Amino acid sequence: MRFHALFCLGLIACGGEKVLVSSDVRVDQADPGSDPDSESSRVCTSPNGDIFAVWSDARSGIPAVWLNESTDGGLTWLEQPILVNQGSGAATHPEIACTSDKVHVVWEDTRDGLLENKNIYLASGARGGAGNLRFGDEDVQLDGDEDGDHHSLRPQIAAFRDSVWVVWSDQRNGAYDIYAATSADAGDTFYEPRRLDSDEPGSAFSASPRIASSGPDLVFVAWEDSRNGLSDIYGAMSDNGGLSFDDDYRLDLGEAAGASDSFSPQVAADDDGTAYVVWHDTRDAPGRDVYINWTSNGGASWAAEAVRVDSDNPGFADSILPSVAVACGVGHLAWQDDRSGGYDLFYRRVIGGGFADEEVRINGGGAGAANSVDAKVVASGGCSTASDASVAIAWRDLRSDSEELGYNDLYYTGSTDNGLSFSALDLRLDALQAGTSYKVDLSIDLQGEDLRALWVDGRSGSADVYFHGLPIGEEAVLVPVAASELEEEEGAD
């Protein structure tokens, strides 16, 4: 019963005294006997340090969006999560953004019409007099499709003070187009959504939008667009807080439009108007390579040719699913790369319009020995100097999956000097014995040097949501369990 005893160190399951140790905490708290699979876990930290976790599960019979919160750095959470969505539809794929005084959650919802098409809804929570988080009386419908005639999918959200921006992929015109909705009153009301892709409406598939803001005015959006044939990466920006967007522009430059597929864009923007868009591209086939485009002047100009980020022979191996973050003028890129067999994770810094140094492999173990996948990069800066920022890169790692059951562990590496140097390789981020459960939907956030991770974990038999927080440089450890505690737990069974 060793596993059971370890789980009880998660503070919640066994109750009792708070234990001031770094351990995994289960936060979805489904009722015993009604323990549905949870999915789409997302975490964010507000500027004052409150931590919010959202996910969807069907404990009430239909998929719904749930939120839990911690006001003590992740040690304790509400005993019962808060139901975010209203209405009778299935609510899935939540995304979250936090500001000083509000938490905004957006999701797909089938409540409108009889076709079970998905529409985009948002709810904003704020603290009431007693400090309890309260959501508004009504969810806000963002895509304007009151009869549910068309799908609106995969919303993404960003917020800064009273500004909230949501983008999604929308079927209203035929083939999917990209729409954006903006609120200037902290999510209470939204302006009419605007279409961002400028070709004939509904004429070509546009999907996977990503959004980032640089302060209150500059907003950057990037997406996949097949208007030219194979998929290209397009971007659109606003310099007036999302009231309007400039004409869109192609970013995967350097070869003919539509000549090869460009997928999985990610975008990051800094306070000074620097923005990076990264993606993976088939132009060097057979393998896929990671490319980047950037602006250092708030989107007034972008590089005339996209620049390849991975530096082995072009197209030799698959370099895919890049992630990007930026702090104090330094961009941080990570991606998975199978040049040595299994997927390794690589990292590279970019400053302004150029690479600061060579790429480096950041996962330990032998190169290509196992699959290290799904890199997530976050950065957080005070920026009193260029190195006054923290960076964390987290991933899922299958090195201990000896029986090939898909049981992965969570690892990370971190820097407290804005990427000049990193802590020891291969710090464990979850505290479960290696290779004993699957972990998916990893979401991370960084506040100062405190890393917060949320994921969906199969350790308890169903898919549950777990949290772990630690300062950069520390490693999650399997807390030793005293023999007396083990006996106690076994006795309790």
Contact residues toward Ca ion (CB under 5 A) are 177, 197, 204, 206, 232, 252, 262, 287, 289, 310, 317, 319
DSSP 37: P
Using DSSP's 3-state secondary structure scheme, residue 237 falls into: strand
Tokens describing residue 212: 């980032």
**Distances, alpha carbon 298 to alpha carbons 126, 158, 418, in Å:** 31, 17, 22
Nearest to 169 by CA among 113, 139, 211, 140: 211
Tell me, rounded to whole angstroms, the distance of Cα 195 from its chain centroid. 24
Q: Least distance in Å: CB of 319 to Ca ion? A: 3
- Is the CB of 348 or the CB of 459 nearer to Ca ion? 348
- Is the CB of 103 or the CB of 321 nearer to Ca ion? 321
Tell me, rounded to whole angstroms, the distance of Cα 6 from its chain centroid. 28
- Is the CB of 3 or the CB of 316 nearer to Ca ion? 316
Tokens 């500001």 — which residue? 99
- Is the CB of 291 or the CB of 395 nearer to Ca ion? 291
Q: Least distance in Å: CB of 244 to Ca ion? A: 19
- Is the CB of 42 or the CB of 283 nearer to Ca ion? 283
Neighbours of 482 (CB within 10 A): 10
- Is the CB of 206 or the CB of 363 nearer to Ca ion? 206
- Is the CB of 256 or the CB of 405 nearer to Ca ion? 256
Q: Least distance in Å: CB of 232 to Ca ion? A: 4
Q: Least distance in Å: CB of 117 to Ca ion? A: 18
Q: Least distance in Å: CB of 108 to Ca ion? A: 19
- Is the CB of 3 or the CB of 249 nearer to Ca ion? 249
Using DSSP's 3-state secondary structure scheme, residue 478 falls into: coil
- Is the CB of 241 or the CB of 287 nearer to Ca ion? 287
Q: Least distance in Å: CB of 195 to Ca ion? A: 8
- The two counts, helices (H) then strands (E), for the chain are 2, 34
Q: Least distance in Å: CB of 441 to Ca ion? A: 26
Q: Least distance in Å: CB of 252 to Ca ion? A: 4
CA angle 274, 278, 261 (to 5 degrees): 145
- Is the CB of 112 or the CB of 225 nearer to Ca ion? 225
Long-range contacts of 240-247 (CB under 8 A, 24+ apart): 241/163, 241/182, 241/184, 241/216, 241/217, 242/163, 242/165, 242/180, 242/182, 242/191, 243/182, 243/184, 243/191, 244/194, 245/180, 245/194, 245/196, 245/219, 245/221, 246/299, 247/198
Q: Least distance in Å: CB of 197 to Ca ion? A: 4
Residue 422 and residue 413: Cα distance in Å, rounded? Answer: 7
Beta strands 103-109 and 450-457 are unpaired
Residues 6+ apart with CB under 8 A from 366: none
- Is the CB of 27 or the CB of 207 nearer to Ca ion? 207
Q: Least distance in Å: CB of 247 to Ca ion? A: 14
Long-range contacts of 78-87 (CB under 8 A, 24+ apart): 78/29, 79/12, 79/29, 80/29, 81/27, 81/28, 81/29, 82/125, 82/133, 82/135, 84/54, 84/123, 84/125, 84/135, 85/109, 85/121, 85/123, 85/139, 86/123, 86/138, 86/139, 87/111, 87/121, 87/139
Q: Least distance in Å: CB of 10 to Ca ion? A: 40
- Is the CB of 28 or the CB of 225 nearer to Ca ion? 225
Residue 464 and residue 453: Cα distance in Å, rounded? Answer: 14
Residue 310 and residue 318: Cα distance in Å, rounded? Answer: 10
Tell me, rounded to whole angstroms, the distance of Cα 156 from its chain centroid. 10
Q: Least distance in Å: CB of 317 to Ca ion? A: 5
DSSP E strand stretches across 184-239: 194-195, 206-214, 218-225, 232-238
Residue 266 and residue 462: Cα distance in Å, rounded? Answer: 31
Residue 421 and residue 418: Cα distance in Å, rounded? Answer: 8
Q: Least distance in Å: CB of 231 to Ca ion? A: 6
- Is the CB of 117 or the CB of 262 nearer to Ca ion? 262
